[in-house]
A and B are shown apart, each in its own frame.
Chain A
Amino acid sequence: MSTPRRCRGDRGQVAGIEVLPFGLLTFVVGTLLVANAWGVIDAKLAVTSAAREAVRTYVEAPDGATAVASADGAARAAIAGHGRDATATTVEIRHDGDRPFARCTRVVVTVHHPVPALRLPFIGGFGRAFDVVARQSEVVDPYRSGLPGEATC
């Protein structure tokens, strides 16, 4: 008796069945939108930390050659610490006015990290949407020890 009664009534299906594809579409598109926005914010957090670590390491290094290697390593370690692939990261170090590594030299460190167009859990990212960039700047301390020359700020 119960089986024929279940098949006769279709009012519930008519009222709700058309929203299923709409709901599915909203869910997929909306989730991708929010997930991508979150991915960009997460990458921005990582590159900001990396640029800050790099510039601090740079201005406290004993000489120019060590400074470049140390700053690059610090930036990549910060990116890796945020759970991202540091091999895709680009670190640019520039001196204001093309001055050498010396007291009073302003250093600008720019860190680029690519954000995939689509990132799926357990599988990884696909495509390359754009680069997330962070820039930090500091002056080599004019009165620090360990550097030759005078402070000419």
Chain B
Amino acid sequence: MLTAARGRRGDGERASVLMLMPAAVLIVLVLGAIAVDLTTIRLGQRELIAAAGDAANDAVTVGLDEGALRAGQGYRIDPARAERAVLESLAAKGLLDELAEPPTVLVRGADTVEVRLARRVPHLFARALPGAPDDQLVRGAVTAQVAQR
């Protein structure tokens, strides 16, 4: 009788199926939360790259050294003017206070400006997990070059 009872207990799988369903639902929700968090990071980086592009685009035109141009020395970018243009562009977007480090403005040659930005993008759901990072550092770098058209 005892052997028969143990055999019957092992045969039923209906309870296992019921318990697996909430676990599967939780797994789907966690995967969805991970997808949302990763997309948030990607969105933050995309915004940072767009801001760097706009700032570099402004710097490469506003940063022209007019004195050198009128003196016949050709198109040359004034590093101070270029940096000021970058800061004004970032301030107008409200991004300047959100940067993890001051923006890097590199003038390459006579007509090229590179802008590098870094920013911390907060997670949405991962903050609820103990031990998981609250945010992630993303970087963006864009180079702009003057072209006559």
Contact = CB atoms under 8 A, between A and B. Distances in A.
Instruction: Say what secondary structure dominates the interface of chain A.
Output: helix
B54 interface: yes
B25 A137 contact: no
B18 A20 contact: yes
A12 B12 contact: yes
Interface string B82-120: 000100110011100000000000000000000000000
A9 B81 CA distance: 83
Interface residues of B, number: 36
B81 to A, nearest CB: 8
B88 A17 contact: no
B47 A23 contact: no
Contact of B89 (A20, A139, A141): A139
B34 to A, nearest CB: 10
Given A106-B89, A153-B62, 4 more contacts: A23-B25, A37-B33, A55-B54, A139-B62
Interface of A: 9, 11-13, 15-17, 19-20, 22-23, 26-27, 30-31, 34, 37-38, 41, 44-45, 48, 52, 55, 96, 104, 106, 108, 135-139, 141-143, 153
